[in-house]
A and B are shown apart, each in its own frame.
Chain A
Amino acid sequence: MSHHIIQVNNLKYSYPGGRQALNGVNFQILHGESVGIVGANGAGKSTLLMHLVGVLFPDEGEIAVGEVPVIKKTLPLIRQSVGMVFQDPDDQLFMTTVYDDVAFGPRNYKLPEEEVEKRVRSALETVGILHLMDRLSYKLSGGEKRAAAIATVLAMKPDILVMDEPSSSLDPKSRRRLISLLRCFTHTKIIASHDLDMVLELCERTIIIQDGKVIIDGPTGEILANEELMEKCGLEMPLCLQGCPVCGTKKAK
Protein backbone atom coordinates (compact mmCIF):
# COMPACT_ATOMS: atom_id res chain seq x y z
CA MET A 1 0.00 0.00 0.00
CA SER A 2 2.17 2.79 -1.20
CA HIS A 3 -0.58 5.13 -2.32
CA HIS A 4 -3.12 5.83 0.33
CA ILE A 5 -6.08 7.16 -1.51
CA ILE A 6 -9.13 7.33 0.68
CA GLN A 7 -12.32 6.86 -1.22
CA VAL A 8 -15.70 7.47 0.41
CA ASN A 9 -18.77 6.72 -1.66
CA ASN A 10 -22.32 7.63 -0.74
CA LEU A 11 -21.80 6.92 2.94
CA LYS A 12 -24.96 6.63 5.00
CA TYR A 13 -25.20 5.80 8.65
CA SER A 14 -27.87 6.04 11.29
CA TYR A 15 -27.27 5.33 14.95
CA PRO A 16 -29.33 2.66 16.60
CA GLY A 17 -32.36 4.62 17.69
CA GLY A 18 -32.86 6.14 14.29
CA ARG A 19 -30.75 9.29 14.28
CA GLN A 20 -29.39 9.67 10.76
CA ALA A 21 -25.90 10.97 11.34
CA LEU A 22 -24.47 10.59 7.84
CA ASN A 23 -26.61 11.14 4.85
CA GLY A 24 -24.68 10.33 1.70
CA VAL A 25 -21.11 11.55 2.05
CA ASN A 26 -18.78 11.46 -0.94
CA PHE A 27 -15.16 12.46 -1.25
CA GLN A 28 -11.75 11.30 -2.26
CA ILE A 29 -8.53 12.13 -0.46
CA LEU A 30 -5.25 11.68 -2.27
CA HIS A 31 -1.94 10.52 -0.95
CA GLY A 32 -0.19 13.19 1.11
CA GLU A 33 -3.11 15.56 1.22
CA SER A 34 -4.10 17.21 4.45
CA VAL A 35 -7.79 17.83 4.79
CA GLY A 36 -9.74 19.73 7.42
CA ILE A 37 -13.24 18.59 8.25
CA VAL A 38 -15.33 21.33 9.81
CA GLY A 39 -18.95 21.69 10.75
CA ALA A 40 -21.19 22.67 13.64
CA ASN A 41 -21.72 20.49 16.70
CA GLY A 42 -23.56 17.33 15.80
CA ALA A 43 -22.86 17.72 12.10
CA GLY A 44 -21.47 14.19 11.89
CA LYS A 45 -17.71 14.72 11.89
CA SER A 46 -16.86 12.21 14.57
CA THR A 47 -19.22 9.69 13.04
CA LEU A 48 -17.53 10.09 9.68
CA LEU A 49 -14.04 9.67 11.10
CA MET A 50 -15.06 6.56 12.99
CA HIS A 51 -16.01 4.97 9.72
CA LEU A 52 -12.51 5.52 8.37
CA VAL A 53 -10.96 3.22 10.97
CA GLY A 54 -13.76 0.70 10.97
CA VAL A 55 -15.15 1.47 14.41
CA LEU A 56 -18.52 1.98 12.77
CA PHE A 57 -19.67 0.34 9.56
CA PRO A 58 -21.87 2.11 7.01
CA ASP A 59 -25.49 1.20 6.45
CA GLU A 60 -25.04 2.06 2.83
CA GLY A 61 -22.14 3.06 0.61
CA GLU A 62 -18.51 2.07 0.92
CA ILE A 63 -15.08 3.24 2.00
CA ALA A 64 -11.73 2.14 0.71
CA VAL A 65 -8.24 2.97 1.92
CA GLY A 66 -5.66 2.43 -0.80
CA GLU A 67 -7.85 -0.02 -2.73
CA VAL A 68 -8.61 -2.03 0.41
CA PRO A 69 -12.26 -1.81 1.35
CA VAL A 70 -12.93 -1.08 5.03
CA ILE A 71 -14.81 -4.18 6.10
CA LYS A 72 -14.48 -6.49 9.10
CA LYS A 73 -12.07 -8.80 7.32
CA THR A 74 -9.56 -6.14 6.36
CA LEU A 75 -9.51 -4.30 9.68
CA PRO A 76 -6.05 -5.44 10.83
CA LEU A 77 -4.61 -4.16 7.55
CA ILE A 78 -6.56 -0.89 7.71
CA ARG A 79 -5.63 -0.22 11.30
CA GLN A 80 -1.97 -0.71 10.60
CA SER A 81 -2.00 2.17 8.17
CA VAL A 82 -4.64 4.46 9.67
CA GLY A 83 -4.08 5.91 13.14
CA MET A 84 -6.92 7.69 14.86
CA VAL A 85 -6.97 10.12 17.75
CA PHE A 86 -10.40 10.01 19.36
CA GLN A 87 -12.35 13.01 20.53
CA ASP A 88 -12.18 11.96 24.17
CA PRO A 89 -8.62 11.14 25.30
CA ASP A 90 -9.99 9.13 28.24
CA ASP A 91 -11.06 6.48 25.77
CA GLN A 92 -7.55 6.12 24.51
CA LEU A 93 -5.68 5.80 27.78
CA PHE A 94 -6.45 2.54 29.49
CA MET A 95 -3.17 1.28 30.85
CA THR A 96 -1.67 2.36 34.14
CA THR A 97 1.30 4.49 33.18
CA VAL A 98 1.74 6.82 30.24
CA TYR A 99 4.64 4.72 29.05
CA ASP A 100 2.61 1.52 28.93
CA ASP A 101 -0.21 3.29 27.20
CA VAL A 102 2.01 4.57 24.42
CA ALA A 103 3.80 1.23 24.20
CA PHE A 104 0.55 -0.69 23.88
CA GLY A 105 0.28 -0.31 20.11
CA PRO A 106 3.88 -1.09 19.15
CA ARG A 107 3.88 -4.08 21.50
CA ASN A 108 0.81 -5.46 19.78
CA TYR A 109 2.84 -5.61 16.62
CA LYS A 110 5.43 -7.63 18.50
CA LEU A 111 8.27 -5.21 17.99
CA PRO A 112 11.41 -5.88 20.03
CA GLU A 113 11.37 -4.05 23.34
CA GLU A 114 14.26 -1.70 22.43
CA GLU A 115 12.38 -0.55 19.35
CA VAL A 116 9.25 -0.08 21.45
CA GLU A 117 11.13 2.08 23.89
CA LYS A 118 12.65 4.14 21.09
CA ARG A 119 9.24 4.75 19.58
CA VAL A 120 7.63 5.62 22.90
CA ARG A 121 10.33 8.12 23.72
CA SER A 122 10.26 9.81 20.37
CA ALA A 123 6.44 9.96 20.36
CA LEU A 124 6.37 11.48 23.83
CA GLU A 125 9.11 13.90 22.89
CA THR A 126 7.24 15.11 19.82
CA VAL A 127 4.19 16.01 21.87
CA GLY A 128 6.43 17.42 24.60
CA ILE A 129 5.51 15.23 27.53
CA LEU A 130 8.58 13.06 27.91
CA HIS A 131 8.71 14.10 31.56
CA LEU A 132 5.30 12.50 32.18
CA MET A 133 6.52 9.11 31.00
CA ASP A 134 6.22 7.32 34.34
CA ARG A 135 3.13 9.15 35.57
CA LEU A 136 -0.23 7.45 35.95
CA SER A 137 -2.24 8.25 32.85
CA TYR A 138 -5.59 8.73 34.57
CA LYS A 139 -4.15 11.33 36.89
CA LEU A 140 -3.09 13.74 34.15
CA SER A 141 -4.77 17.03 33.33
CA GLY A 142 -7.09 17.26 30.34
CA GLY A 143 -4.44 18.72 28.04
CA GLU A 144 -1.77 16.30 29.18
CA LYS A 145 -4.15 13.44 28.48
CA ARG A 146 -4.76 14.83 25.02
CA ALA A 147 -1.03 14.98 24.34
CA ALA A 148 -0.59 11.43 25.60
CA ALA A 149 -3.43 10.21 23.41
CA ILE A 150 -1.77 11.77 20.37
CA ALA A 151 1.51 10.13 21.35
CA THR A 152 -0.16 6.71 21.50
CA VAL A 153 -1.10 7.08 17.87
CA LEU A 154 2.21 8.57 16.72
CA ALA A 155 4.06 5.61 18.25
CA MET A 156 2.25 3.38 15.77
CA LYS A 157 3.81 5.33 12.87
CA PRO A 158 0.63 5.35 10.80
CA ASP A 159 0.61 6.28 7.11
CA ILE A 160 -2.63 8.15 7.51
CA LEU A 161 -3.40 10.25 10.54
CA VAL A 162 -7.01 10.82 11.48
CA MET A 163 -7.64 13.24 14.32
CA ASP A 164 -10.84 14.30 16.02
CA GLU A 165 -10.34 17.76 17.51
CA PRO A 166 -6.67 17.33 18.33
CA SER A 167 -6.13 20.88 19.55
CA SER A 168 -9.03 21.10 21.99
CA SER A 169 -7.94 21.57 25.61
CA LEU A 170 -4.30 22.15 24.68
CA ASP A 171 -2.58 25.24 26.01
CA PRO A 172 -1.32 27.73 23.39
CA LYS A 173 2.23 26.45 23.49
CA SER A 174 1.23 22.80 23.16
CA ARG A 175 -1.16 23.73 20.40
CA ARG A 176 1.62 25.47 18.57
CA ARG A 177 3.86 22.47 19.06
CA LEU A 178 1.13 20.19 17.75
CA ILE A 179 0.66 22.35 14.69
CA SER A 180 4.33 22.35 13.83
CA LEU A 181 4.47 18.64 14.49
CA LEU A 182 1.56 17.97 12.18
CA ARG A 183 3.10 20.16 9.54
CA CYS A 184 6.18 17.93 9.58
CA PHE A 185 3.99 14.86 9.23
CA THR A 186 4.11 14.47 5.47
CA HIS A 187 1.64 11.63 5.12
CA THR A 188 -2.05 11.99 4.57
CA LYS A 189 -3.87 13.67 7.44
CA ILE A 190 -7.51 14.26 8.14
CA ILE A 191 -8.35 16.66 10.93
CA ALA A 192 -11.81 17.37 12.26
CA SER A 193 -11.71 20.53 14.28
CA HIS A 194 -13.45 23.63 15.50
CA ASP A 195 -10.08 25.34 15.62
CA LEU A 196 -10.40 26.98 12.21
CA ASP A 197 -7.14 28.86 12.54
CA MET A 198 -5.37 25.56 12.87
CA VAL A 199 -7.21 24.17 9.88
CA LEU A 200 -6.19 27.23 7.92
CA GLU A 201 -2.56 26.71 8.84
CA LEU A 202 -2.40 22.99 8.31
CA CYS A 203 -4.82 21.94 5.64
CA GLU A 204 -4.79 23.00 2.05
CA ARG A 205 -8.22 21.50 1.58
CA THR A 206 -11.40 21.74 3.66
CA ILE A 207 -14.64 19.81 3.68
CA ILE A 208 -17.62 21.39 5.41
CA ILE A 209 -20.17 18.98 6.76
CA GLN A 210 -23.68 19.86 7.79
CA ASP A 211 -26.44 17.46 8.82
CA GLY A 212 -24.47 14.48 7.61
CA LYS A 213 -23.80 15.87 4.14
CA VAL A 214 -20.86 17.46 2.43
CA ILE A 215 -21.80 21.10 1.83
CA ILE A 216 -18.62 22.14 0.11
CA ASP A 217 -15.23 20.68 -0.59
CA GLY A 218 -12.40 22.86 -1.79
CA PRO A 219 -9.30 24.94 -1.02
CA THR A 220 -9.24 26.01 2.64
CA GLY A 221 -8.32 29.64 1.99
CA GLU A 222 -11.34 30.23 -0.22
CA ILE A 223 -13.86 28.37 1.91
CA LEU A 224 -12.95 29.74 5.30
CA ALA A 225 -12.81 33.29 3.95
CA ASN A 226 -16.32 33.05 2.52
CA GLU A 227 -18.25 34.79 5.27
CA GLU A 228 -21.68 34.08 3.84
CA LEU A 229 -21.05 30.37 3.43
CA MET A 230 -19.56 30.04 6.88
CA GLU A 231 -22.52 31.81 8.41
CA LYS A 232 -24.88 29.47 6.61
CA CYS A 233 -23.15 26.42 8.04
CA GLY A 234 -23.26 27.71 11.58
CA LEU A 235 -19.58 28.61 11.57
CA GLU A 236 -17.48 31.71 11.81
CA MET A 237 -14.45 32.86 9.89
CA PRO A 238 -11.08 32.03 11.49
CA LEU A 239 -9.92 34.75 13.85
CA CYS A 240 -6.90 35.55 11.77
CA LEU A 241 -9.15 36.37 8.81
CA GLN A 242 -11.53 38.50 10.83
CA GLY A 243 -11.00 42.20 11.21
CA CYS A 244 -9.07 43.45 14.19
CA PRO A 245 -11.62 44.00 16.98
CA VAL A 246 -9.72 47.01 18.31
CA CYS A 247 -8.87 49.06 15.25
CA GLY A 248 -11.22 47.46 12.74
CA THR A 249 -8.63 46.92 10.03
CA LYS A 250 -8.84 43.76 7.96
CA LYS A 251 -5.83 41.55 8.09
CA ALA A 252 -4.76 40.43 4.70
CA LYS A 253 -3.73 36.89 4.24
Chain B
Amino acid sequence: MSNMMTSLYNIRILDELAEKRTVIHNIHPLMKVLTTCLYLIVIVSFNKYELSGLLPLVFYPIIVIALADLPLVPLLKRMLIVLPLIIGIGLFNPLFDRSPMVVLPWIQLSGGWISFLAILLKGVLTILAALVLIATTGMTRIAAVLGMLRVPRIFILQLLLTYRYISVLIEEVGRTVRAYALRSRREKGVSFSDWGSLTGHLLLRTMERAQRVYHSMCCRGFAGEYHAGNTSKIRIEDILYFTGWGLYFVLVRFFNIPTAIGSLITGVVK
Protein backbone atom coordinates (compact mmCIF):
# COMPACT_ATOMS: atom_id res chain seq x y z
CA MET B 1 0.00 0.00 0.00
CA SER B 2 2.68 2.49 0.96
CA ASN B 3 4.27 1.52 -2.30
CA MET B 4 1.22 2.58 -4.21
CA MET B 5 1.05 5.94 -2.46
CA THR B 6 4.68 6.75 -3.08
CA SER B 7 4.39 5.95 -6.74
CA LEU B 8 1.30 8.15 -6.77
CA TYR B 9 3.29 11.01 -5.44
CA ASN B 10 5.53 10.52 -8.40
CA ILE B 11 2.98 10.85 -11.14
CA ARG B 12 3.48 14.54 -11.31
CA ILE B 13 7.22 14.31 -11.13
CA LEU B 14 7.53 15.53 -14.71
CA ASP B 15 5.68 18.70 -13.75
CA GLU B 16 7.90 19.05 -10.75
CA LEU B 17 11.07 18.63 -12.74
CA ALA B 18 9.85 21.20 -15.21
CA GLU B 19 9.96 23.83 -12.46
CA LYS B 20 13.74 23.50 -12.05
CA ARG B 21 16.04 26.25 -13.19
CA THR B 22 18.97 24.92 -15.19
CA VAL B 23 20.65 25.88 -18.43
CA ILE B 24 18.28 23.66 -20.36
CA HIS B 25 15.18 24.78 -18.50
CA ASN B 26 16.01 28.39 -19.24
CA ILE B 27 16.12 27.85 -22.97
CA HIS B 28 13.11 29.22 -24.76
CA PRO B 29 10.35 26.58 -24.99
CA LEU B 30 9.86 27.24 -28.68
CA MET B 31 13.46 26.26 -29.43
CA LYS B 32 13.19 23.13 -27.32
CA VAL B 33 10.01 22.06 -29.07
CA LEU B 34 11.55 22.70 -32.48
CA THR B 35 14.72 20.80 -31.55
CA THR B 36 12.67 17.86 -30.36
CA CYS B 37 10.59 17.86 -33.53
CA LEU B 38 13.69 17.90 -35.70
CA TYR B 39 15.18 15.10 -33.63
CA LEU B 40 12.09 12.97 -34.07
CA ILE B 41 11.99 13.61 -37.81
CA VAL B 42 15.64 12.63 -38.17
CA ILE B 43 15.11 9.43 -36.17
CA VAL B 44 12.09 8.39 -38.15
CA SER B 45 13.81 9.10 -41.46
CA PHE B 46 16.41 6.36 -40.96
CA ASN B 47 15.50 3.20 -42.81
CA LYS B 48 14.97 0.00 -40.93
CA TYR B 49 18.45 -1.48 -41.32
CA GLU B 50 20.42 1.64 -40.45
CA LEU B 51 21.31 0.79 -36.89
CA SER B 52 24.81 2.19 -36.81
CA GLY B 53 23.77 5.56 -38.19
CA LEU B 54 21.32 5.98 -35.31
CA LEU B 55 23.91 5.51 -32.61
CA PRO B 56 25.24 9.10 -32.45
CA LEU B 57 21.70 10.32 -31.80
CA VAL B 58 21.90 8.71 -28.37
CA PHE B 59 24.01 11.64 -27.25
CA TYR B 60 21.20 14.19 -27.50
CA PRO B 61 19.04 12.86 -24.64
CA ILE B 62 22.08 11.95 -22.58
CA ILE B 63 23.59 15.41 -22.80
CA VAL B 64 20.28 17.19 -22.18
CA ILE B 65 19.49 14.96 -19.19
CA ALA B 66 22.91 15.67 -17.73
CA LEU B 67 22.69 19.43 -18.28
CA ALA B 68 19.12 19.65 -17.02
CA ASP B 69 20.04 17.64 -13.94
CA LEU B 70 17.17 15.19 -14.43
CA PRO B 71 17.06 12.00 -12.34
CA LEU B 72 17.28 8.96 -14.58
CA VAL B 73 15.19 6.44 -12.67
CA PRO B 74 11.76 8.11 -13.02
CA LEU B 75 12.34 8.70 -16.71
CA LEU B 76 13.36 5.10 -17.30
CA LYS B 77 10.40 3.85 -15.29
CA ARG B 78 8.04 5.77 -17.51
CA MET B 79 9.76 4.34 -20.52
CA LEU B 80 9.30 0.80 -19.23
CA ILE B 81 5.56 1.25 -19.55
CA VAL B 82 5.83 1.71 -23.32
CA LEU B 83 8.69 -0.71 -23.91
CA PRO B 84 6.57 -3.87 -24.27
CA LEU B 85 4.68 -2.16 -27.07
CA ILE B 86 7.84 -1.41 -28.99
CA ILE B 87 9.21 -4.89 -28.43
CA GLY B 88 5.91 -6.26 -29.65
CA ILE B 89 6.21 -4.35 -32.90
CA GLY B 90 9.69 -5.65 -33.66
CA LEU B 91 9.42 -9.07 -32.07
CA PHE B 92 9.06 -11.18 -35.20
CA ASN B 93 11.71 -9.48 -37.30
CA PRO B 94 14.58 -11.74 -36.09
CA LEU B 95 12.49 -14.83 -36.91
CA PHE B 96 11.59 -13.95 -40.48
CA ASP B 97 14.53 -11.97 -41.73
CA ARG B 98 17.66 -14.12 -41.42
CA SER B 99 19.91 -12.73 -44.13
CA PRO B 100 23.25 -11.67 -42.62
CA MET B 101 24.16 -8.01 -42.73
CA VAL B 102 27.03 -5.82 -41.70
CA VAL B 103 26.43 -3.38 -38.87
CA LEU B 104 29.91 -2.06 -38.38
CA PRO B 105 32.91 -3.33 -40.28
CA TRP B 106 33.75 -5.80 -37.53
CA ILE B 107 30.23 -6.83 -36.47
CA GLN B 108 27.77 -8.95 -38.45
CA LEU B 109 24.17 -9.74 -37.52
CA SER B 110 21.13 -11.10 -39.30
CA GLY B 111 18.93 -8.46 -40.93
CA GLY B 112 16.07 -9.33 -38.60
CA TRP B 113 18.09 -8.62 -35.51
CA ILE B 114 19.36 -5.37 -36.91
CA SER B 115 15.89 -4.12 -37.76
CA PHE B 116 14.64 -5.26 -34.35
CA LEU B 117 17.39 -3.38 -32.57
CA ALA B 118 16.83 -0.36 -34.79
CA ILE B 119 13.12 -0.31 -33.93
CA LEU B 120 13.95 -0.68 -30.26
CA LEU B 121 16.49 2.11 -30.36
CA LYS B 122 14.21 4.39 -32.34
CA GLY B 123 11.36 3.74 -29.93
CA VAL B 124 13.46 4.35 -26.85
CA LEU B 125 14.99 7.52 -28.24
CA THR B 126 11.71 9.06 -29.37
CA ILE B 127 10.06 8.42 -26.03
CA LEU B 128 13.06 9.64 -24.13
CA ALA B 129 13.12 12.81 -26.22
CA ALA B 130 9.44 13.44 -25.49
CA LEU B 131 9.89 12.80 -21.76
CA VAL B 132 12.92 15.06 -21.65
CA LEU B 133 10.99 17.79 -23.41
CA ILE B 134 8.14 17.59 -20.89
CA ALA B 135 10.50 17.39 -17.94
CA THR B 136 12.48 20.43 -19.02
CA THR B 137 9.65 22.56 -20.34
CA GLY B 138 6.36 21.60 -18.68
CA MET B 139 3.12 20.78 -20.38
CA THR B 140 1.60 24.25 -20.08
CA ARG B 141 4.55 25.93 -21.74
CA ILE B 142 4.60 23.31 -24.48
CA ALA B 143 0.95 24.07 -25.05
CA ALA B 144 1.71 27.78 -25.26
CA VAL B 145 4.36 27.09 -27.89
CA LEU B 146 1.98 24.92 -29.89
CA GLY B 147 -0.39 27.88 -29.81
CA MET B 148 2.39 30.09 -31.14
CA LEU B 149 2.92 27.58 -33.94
CA ARG B 150 -0.74 27.94 -34.89
CA VAL B 151 -1.73 24.42 -33.93
CA PRO B 152 -5.56 24.40 -33.74
CA ARG B 153 -6.80 25.25 -30.25
CA ILE B 154 -8.94 22.17 -29.97
CA PHE B 155 -5.93 19.86 -30.23
CA ILE B 156 -3.98 21.78 -27.65
CA LEU B 157 -6.92 21.72 -25.29
CA GLN B 158 -7.34 18.01 -25.83
CA LEU B 159 -3.70 17.46 -25.04
CA LEU B 160 -3.77 19.54 -21.88
CA LEU B 161 -6.97 18.14 -20.49
CA THR B 162 -5.93 14.56 -21.21
CA TYR B 163 -2.66 15.21 -19.46
CA ARG B 164 -4.51 16.66 -16.46
CA TYR B 165 -7.15 13.96 -16.49
CA ILE B 166 -4.58 11.22 -16.19
CA SER B 167 -3.26 12.60 -12.93
CA VAL B 168 -6.78 13.17 -11.65
CA LEU B 169 -7.63 9.59 -12.56
CA ILE B 170 -4.59 8.14 -10.87
CA GLU B 171 -5.13 10.19 -7.74
CA GLU B 172 -8.70 8.97 -7.48
CA VAL B 173 -7.48 5.40 -7.95
CA GLY B 174 -5.05 5.95 -5.11
CA ARG B 175 -7.69 7.30 -2.76
CA THR B 176 -10.20 4.60 -3.58
CA VAL B 177 -7.70 1.81 -3.20
CA ARG B 178 -6.50 3.26 0.08
CA ALA B 179 -10.04 3.47 1.43
CA TYR B 180 -10.63 -0.08 0.27
CA ALA B 181 -7.44 -1.39 1.82
CA LEU B 182 -8.26 0.15 5.17
CA ARG B 183 -11.60 -1.61 5.33
CA SER B 184 -10.85 -4.96 3.76
CA ARG B 185 -9.07 -7.66 5.66
CA ARG B 186 -6.83 -8.58 2.79
CA GLU B 187 -3.16 -7.84 3.06
CA LYS B 188 -2.66 -6.91 -0.54
CA GLY B 189 -4.53 -6.17 -3.72
CA VAL B 190 -8.23 -6.04 -4.44
CA SER B 191 -10.42 -9.11 -4.22
CA PHE B 192 -11.71 -10.32 -7.56
CA SER B 193 -15.35 -9.96 -6.62
CA ASP B 194 -14.89 -6.29 -5.74
CA TRP B 195 -13.22 -5.28 -8.97
CA GLY B 196 -16.47 -4.57 -10.80
CA SER B 197 -17.98 -2.19 -8.31
CA LEU B 198 -14.65 -0.56 -7.61
CA THR B 199 -13.87 0.28 -11.22
CA GLY B 200 -17.40 1.46 -11.94
CA HIS B 201 -17.24 3.66 -8.89
CA LEU B 202 -13.88 5.00 -9.97
CA LEU B 203 -15.08 5.90 -13.42
CA LEU B 204 -17.97 7.90 -12.00
CA ARG B 205 -15.78 9.59 -9.44
CA THR B 206 -13.09 10.62 -11.86
CA MET B 207 -15.60 11.92 -14.36
CA GLU B 208 -17.27 13.94 -11.68
CA ARG B 209 -14.00 15.25 -10.37
CA ALA B 210 -12.73 16.13 -13.84
CA GLN B 211 -15.93 18.00 -14.45
CA ARG B 212 -15.63 19.95 -11.23
CA VAL B 213 -12.05 20.88 -12.06
CA TYR B 214 -13.18 22.00 -15.48
CA HIS B 215 -15.95 24.11 -13.94
CA SER B 216 -13.59 25.78 -11.57
CA MET B 217 -11.32 26.56 -14.51
CA CYS B 218 -14.26 28.13 -16.33
CA CYS B 219 -15.14 30.14 -13.24
CA ARG B 220 -11.76 31.76 -13.46
CA GLY B 221 -12.21 32.92 -16.99
CA PHE B 222 -10.86 29.89 -18.83
CA ALA B 223 -12.04 30.07 -22.42
CA GLY B 224 -10.16 27.26 -24.06
CA GLU B 225 -6.74 28.85 -24.04
CA TYR B 226 -3.91 28.44 -21.60
CA HIS B 227 -1.76 31.44 -20.86
CA ALA B 228 1.58 30.34 -19.57
CA GLY B 229 2.48 33.81 -18.38
CA ASN B 230 5.97 35.14 -18.77
CA THR B 231 6.83 34.06 -22.27
CA SER B 232 10.31 35.45 -22.42
CA LYS B 233 11.94 36.81 -25.54
CA ILE B 234 14.02 34.52 -27.72
CA ARG B 235 17.69 35.17 -27.05
CA ILE B 236 20.79 34.46 -29.13
CA GLU B 237 21.59 31.47 -26.91
CA ASP B 238 18.23 29.91 -27.65
CA ILE B 239 18.77 30.17 -31.37
CA LEU B 240 22.29 28.80 -30.98
CA TYR B 241 20.91 25.85 -29.02
CA PHE B 242 18.52 24.99 -31.82
CA THR B 243 20.97 25.53 -34.68
CA GLY B 244 23.69 23.64 -32.83
CA TRP B 245 21.60 20.56 -32.35
CA GLY B 246 20.05 20.98 -35.78
CA LEU B 247 23.45 20.91 -37.48
CA TYR B 248 24.47 17.89 -35.42
CA PHE B 249 21.30 15.97 -36.35
CA VAL B 250 21.71 16.79 -40.04
CA LEU B 251 25.34 15.73 -39.91
CA VAL B 252 24.39 12.45 -38.29
CA ARG B 253 21.69 11.93 -40.85
CA PHE B 254 23.87 12.32 -43.89
CA PHE B 255 27.19 10.92 -42.68
CA ASN B 256 27.36 7.59 -40.98
CA ILE B 257 29.81 8.63 -38.31
CA PRO B 258 30.31 5.23 -36.58
CA THR B 259 31.15 3.56 -39.88
CA ALA B 260 33.48 6.39 -40.80
CA ILE B 261 35.30 6.12 -37.49
CA GLY B 262 35.36 2.35 -37.81
CA SER B 263 36.94 2.41 -41.25
CA LEU B 264 39.33 5.08 -40.09
CA ILE B 265 40.51 2.83 -37.26
CA THR B 266 40.72 -0.27 -39.41
CA GLY B 267 42.55 1.80 -42.03
CA VAL B 268 45.08 2.92 -39.43
CA VAL B 269 45.51 -0.63 -38.14
CA LYS B 270 46.14 -1.94 -41.64
Contact = CB atoms under 8 A, between A and B. Distances in A.
Grouping DSSP codes into helix (H, G, I), strand (E, B) and loop, the A interface class, with mixed when no group exceeds half, is helix
A108 B221 contact: yes
Contacts of B230: 113
Interface string A87-105: 0101110111100100111
B18 A107 contact: no
Chain A residues touching B, range:
35 or more
A107 B229 contact: yes
A68 to B, nearest CB: 16
Interface string A55-86: 10000000000000000000110011001101
Given A91-B213, A136-B12, A83 B227 contact: no
Contacts of B15: 96, 136
A81 to B, nearest CB: 11
B216 interface: yes
A27 interface: no
A108 B227 contact: yes
Nearest to A94: B213
B19 A105 contact: no
Given A107-B229, A138-B12, A86 B218 contact: no
Nearest to A82: B219
B235 interface: no
Contact of B220 (A97, A110, A152): A152
Given A107-B227, A108-B227, A116-B229, A95 B140 contact: yes
B212 A96 contact: no
B138 interface: yes
A91 B209 contact: yes
A156 interface: yes
A76 B219 CA distance: 8
B221 A84 contact: no
B12 A55 contact: no
B164 interface: yes
B229 A113 contact: yes
21 contacts: A55-B219, A79-B219, A88-B212, A90-B209, A91-B212, A94-B164, A94-B216, A94-B217, A96-B12, A96-B15, A96-B19, A96-B140, A104-B220, A108-B222, A108-B227, A113-B229, A138-B12, A138-B171, A139-B9, A152-B220, A153-B220
Interface of B: 9, 12, 15-16, 18-19, 138, 140, 164, 171, 209, 212-213, 215-223, 225, 227, 229-230
Interface of A: 50, 53, 55, 75-76, 79-80, 83-84, 86, 88, 90-92, 94-97, 100, 103-105, 107-110, 113, 116, 134, 136, 138-139, 152-153, 156
